[in-house]
Amino acid sequence: MKIEYAVIILALCIAFSGFWIGNALKQDNVEMKITEDTLSISEAADYLKISEDSIKKIIIQEEKTIEQGGAFSMMFPYSKIYDKYVFSKKSLDQWVQEKVKTQSVYSVEGIKSR
């Protein structure tokens, strides 16, 4: 009789935990939702009207500047997921606005703000 109760309790615990985990996975903070705002590197390059290589150079230049003790009010907004760059239109717009305000110049010689 005691074993039957233990089996029933175990089954209920498994069912409850499955339900609980399933609901947690449905939450927005767990699911990754790709929206129209999300861009690949080629789409970001088209959006900014620059080349993919220019985007990569900007990222590298900013990383080098940070390593050398420099700072930015806003770095180029990107994420890298399994060697693929991902961008947000809204973040790119904010970055461009910030660079226009600071009159930043990205060139072969480096990054300068006026």
CB atoms under 10 Å from CB of 41, counted, come to: 17
CA–CA distance, 99 with 77 (Å, rounded to integer): 12
pLDDT computed for residue 23 by the predictor:
65
Please compute, for residue 110, the number of CA atoms within 13 A of its CA located in the half-sphere on the CB side. 8
Which segments of the chain have a pLDDT < 70?
A: 1-2, 7, 10, 12-13, 15-16, 18-20, 22-35
